[in-house]
Structures are given as C-alpha cells and as structure tokens.
Amino acid sequence: MEFYRLSAIEIAARVRAGKLSASQILAAHIERIEALDNIFNCFTARTFERARAEAALVDAKVQAGQEPGPLAGVPFAVKNLFDIEGLATVAGSKIRRAAPPAKMDAPHIVRLNEAGAVLLGALNMDEFAYGFVTENAHDGPVRNPHDPARICGGSSGGSVGALAAGFCALSLGSDTNGSIRLPAGLAGVYGLKPTYGRVTREGTFPFVDSFDHIGPFARSVADLALAYDVLQDEDRASPALGQEIDPTRVAMLDGWFRHGASAEMLEAVRSVAEGLGGTASATLPEAERARAAAFCITAFEGGQLHKPDLIARPWDYDHATVPRLIAGALQPAEVVYQAQRLRAWFRARALELLERYDLLLAPATPITAPLIGQPSFDLAGEEVPLRANIGLYTQPISFIGLPVVCVPVASAGLPRGVQIIAAPGREALALAAAARLEEKGVLAAKVVP
C-alpha cells in the first residue's frame, strides 16, 4: 500500500481503528525519505528515533483502548525555524548552527504531538526566511518534486517539497511576505496563512515581527482545517467546511493583482471564481505602493534584528541575504514611518472592500515554478529579477495580516496556486470555499508517484 498517498485524516482513522499501526505508517515514510530526499533536499535534520518513540506511544494507546488523538500516527515535519528540543534552531543559517540546542519544543509541535502526530524532523528554508526560492547557500536548493530542475519557492520550500514528495502528511511553515502561499502554489499543495496573531509565534525564530505568521500545509482542505484547529483555540474551522458561499460576495482582484500574470495563472483564478459562482472584479487601491512599503518594513526590521551579526560576521550570511539586510538596517526612520502610515491606510481600504465582498481571489504567483538558478522572468513585457518579484501578489496581503488559503488548481502541467483571501478572523469561510472547490474537482493537490 502507498501509505504516502493517504491524507492525514485517512491515516488517523485507520490507526484509531487498529487497521494500521502508527509504526507501520512511520516506517513507510522513513523509507520514502531515505530513498528520495537525496534528490529533493527537503530535510536538514531528521528525528527518526524520536518519531519511532512517538509512534510506539500512539500504538500503545490504541491497544489499551485509550484516545490517541485526532492526528493519531500522522507524520509531520516543520520548517527549521521552529524550536525542536535538542536541536539548534538554525533558521536556514550558518550563523545559528553553533547556537545552544532548544530546551523545549515550540508550542505548535507540542500541540501536534498531543493530537497524536509524529515528528519526522526539520525542513530546509531560505536563510532567516528572507527569500522566495529556497536556494539556500548553506543547505542547497529544495527541488520541486513535480520537476526537480525547478524551485519549490520559499521561504518554506522544504515544507511544501516534503508534502509534494510524500514524505509527510502535514507540515508547518511561516509567512512574512508570502512564504506559505507562494511555495504552496508552486508545489501544488494547500497552505493557510491565518489572521496575523491567530497562531502563536512563540518557539519560532523571528524575521519581521510586524507581519510574521505561522501556518500549516496539507494535501487536502479537511487536513488543513484540522491542523489549523489543533494549532489554535479561537475559530474551529473543520465543522464549518460545509457552509454556503454567496457567489455575489466573491470577487477577483484586478489592477495590481493581474499585472504581469501569465495566461495560465489568470485562467486558474477564473477557474476558482467560476467554481464559486463569482463573476465580479474588485480593486484594492494602491497595492503597488503597499508592496513597496512592505519591502521597506521587511528590510528595516530584519536589518535591525541582525545588526550585531551583520557587523561582526557578515561573511557567514547567504550572499543573497546579506546585502538586503545591510541596506534595510541603514534605512532612514522617515522611510519606515511613511511605510507604516501607508500600511494603516491600505488596511482600512482592504477592510472596506471586505465589507462588500466575503472573499477576494488573486494568483499566488505571476508564473509557475521557475528553474533553479533562474535570475529573472518576464513581467508584462519587462525582464525583472525573479527573487524580488515573484511574490508581488502575496506581499500586499500579509502586510495587513489578512487570512488566506492558497489552493492548488487542478491542471495537467506545473502546479498553479490561487489565494482565497478573507476578512480577519474568517479563516473558516476561506476554508469552506476551498472545500467546495475541492469537492467539485476544481482543486487537486499533487503528490509525485
């Protein structure tokens, strides 16, 4: 049996019923990781001995007739900026490899373990989460399982690569400017960026405190909703997956969110809109300026956080990271002040739009997965740097903390992701829309054979 194709909910149901053991599930996933991760390069640390102990505990509970949890036996892994007891939290860097090991797990790992899930290890990422490609200078690139010559995106590249490769059934990542949505779109899996602050950031290495988010990845909407439920307490999404979606309150974002998008990405957005019955278009004004402001705040806060190491050991940073952090640290305060003013104004405009519409739709990326090492791409007839511009549709949204479900649109070619954007606290509605689309066959997560 190809256990790696089972959803998290299917795994848990079979383990809870005694039809499969958590140890069997784990062994199959370990075998797959050991056979294929030398190709895809998703893991930077493996916690297999710990996982065997966790799986044995789940099996013992099942055999004793005890409750093993809603994620019984489900293998998961986390971006390597999450604290894992006994491991240094490297956050994709060389500098932190000598850091003391974490004394305890991040709360997210604790919650998933308590729900019966089994931790496989830590996953590759862009250094300090500052990037969209996961071509890490220290750990190497994550290769897209759908075409190993291509990127998985970033900064949570290992998190989506591990899911698409069948190495785990759930994974965790972070999103500052698009680092959940962009890689989910390029790798053909589901990703949830919750409302800012809805899921704790405790136990994770920061990047930009103003808009860092923590969220899950999965290969089905039900799995994504269940993982979200386990991670937080405020808004139980799973029971709401069947709620109705009003098609008159669904709109495709135009203007900036269509600028330069390839025909296949625009078609993906139309497919999602049609699946929900929506025909309207809407404008989120000044999105381009909002993106510029997000750049300024990102560079400034990141630069200030890293200033001591930038002074003492700049040569130990990824060559793609260090110039941006140095430039950010040197920004005048006036620039950041004006960026924050625009942020408040832009958030108010977005909330006004979300009074008229329940859900807004936009591409996750302007193009499908680029090649590893590709320096640029065509954006509306202009050749632009890839690293700086592939997140142009995600940055304005995380900038103001809105919840987004990134969904994989069914296609024969490379994966195409679409953002389903909702008002703060309305994750359940975005997930319900995704569930409806999945049921209709508009969406389909991809896993390699």
Query: Out of 155, 156, 171, 238, which one is annotated catalytic?
Result: 155
Residue with tokens 């003492």: 312
pLDDT tens for each residue of 337-353: 999 999 999 999 999 99
pLDDT band at 168 (very low <50, low <70, confident <90, very high): very high
Burial class (CB in 10 A: 0-12, 13-18, 19+), 92: buried
Query: Out of 159, 179, 238, 398, which one is annotated catalytic?
Result: 179
Q: What's the CA dihedral at 127, 83, 87, 59 to 10 degrees?
A: -130
List the beta strands (DSSP E) in 81-239.
118-123, 135-136, 140-141, 143-144, 147-151, 170-175, 190-193, 213-218
pLDDT band at 253 (very low <50, low <70, confident <90, very high): very high
CB atoms near residue 413 (< 10 Å): 9
Sequence-ordered list of residues with C-beta below 8 angstroms from that of 379, at least 6 positions apart, any chain: 259, 260, 366, 389, 392
Q: In whole angstroms, what is the distance from residue 382 CA to residue 373 CA?
A: 19
pLDDT band at 235 (very low <50, low <70, confident <90, very high): confident
Q: In whole angstroms, what is the distance from residue 423 CA to residue 3 CA?
A: 37
pLDDT at 231 over 90: yes
Give phi and psi for 121, each to the nearest 5: 150, -165
B/e letters for 34-45, b = 16+ CB within 10 Å, e = fewer, are eebbeebbbbbb
What average pLDDT does this structure show over 399-412? 96
Q: In whole angstroms, what is the distance from residue 316 CA to residue 322 CA?
A: 9
pLDDT at 1 over 90: no
pLDDT at site 239: 87
H or E stretch including 253? Answer: strand 250-253
Q: Where are the alpha helices (DSSP H) in 249-331?
A: 263-276, 287-312, 322-329
What average pLDDT does this structure show over 163-184? 98
Burial class (CB in 10 A: 0-12, 13-18, 19+), 419: buried
Q: Where are the alpha helices (DSSP H) in 357-426?
A: 386-389, 395-398
pLDDT at 157 over 90: yes
pLDDT tens for each residue of 79-116: 999 999 999 999 999 999 999 999 999 999 999 999 99
Q: In whole angstroms, what is the distance from residue 278 CA to residue 206 CA?
A: 38
Query: Out of 79, 93, 238, 398, which one is annotated catalytic?
Result: 79
pLDDT band at 447 (very low <50, low <70, confident <90, very high): confident
Output 237 or 431, whichever has higher pLDDT: 431
Q: In whole angstroms, what is the distance from residue 424 CA to residue 361 CA?
A: 15
CA proximity to 208, closest of 178, 234, 183, 242: 178
The DSSP-derived string for 208-247 is -TTT-EEEEEESSHHHHHHHHHHH-SS---GGGTT----G
What average pLDDT does this structure show over 224-242? 91
CA proximity to 314, closest of 331, 298, 329: 329
What average pLDDT does this structure show over 196-208? 97
Give phi and psi for 82, each to the nearest 5: -85, 140
Sequence-ordered list of residues with C-beta below 8 angstroms from that of 434, at least 6 positions apart, any chain: 190, 221, 224, 405, 407, 420, 443
pLDDT band at 237 (very low <50, low <70, confident <90, very high): confident
Burial class (CB in 10 A: 0-12, 13-18, 19+), 254: middle
Amino acid at 26: L
Q: In whole angstroms, what is the distance from residue 18 CA to residue 26 CA?
A: 15
pLDDT at 234 over 90: no
| Residue 177, CA distances (Å) to 131, 394, 402, 442 in order | 9, 6, 12, 26
Cα 351 to its chain centre, rounded Å, is 23
Alpha-carbon torsion (124, 107, 7, 34), positive or negative:
positive
| Residue 65, CA distances (Å) to 16, 53, 58, 60, 284 in order | 9, 19, 11, 9, 54
Sequence-ordered list of residues with C-beta below 8 angstroms from that of 271, at least 6 positions apart, any chain: 409, 418, 442
pLDDT at site 449: 80
| Residue 284, CA distances (Å) to 16, 84, 157, 257, 313 in order | 47, 40, 28, 9, 42
CA proximity to 176, closest of 362, 375, 399: 399
- Please confirm, yes or no, whether 179 is among the known catalytic residues: yes
Domain ranges in the chain are 3-288+333-440
Q: Give strand pairing partners of 363.
A: 418
- 175 close to 84: Cβ distance less than 8 angstroms: no
What average pLDDT does this structure show over 403-427? 97
Calculate the average pLDDT of the chain. Answer: 97
CATH 3.40.640.10 fits 3-288+333-440, yes or no: no
pLDDT band at 430 (very low <50, low <70, confident <90, very high): very high
Percentage of the chain lying above the pLDDT 90 cut = 96
* Three state DSSP letters for 341-356: HHHHHHHHHHHHHHHH
Structure tokens at 43: 């893991």
- Please confirm, yes or no, whether 281 is among the known catalytic residues: no
- 399 close to 343: Cβ distance less than 8 angstroms: yes
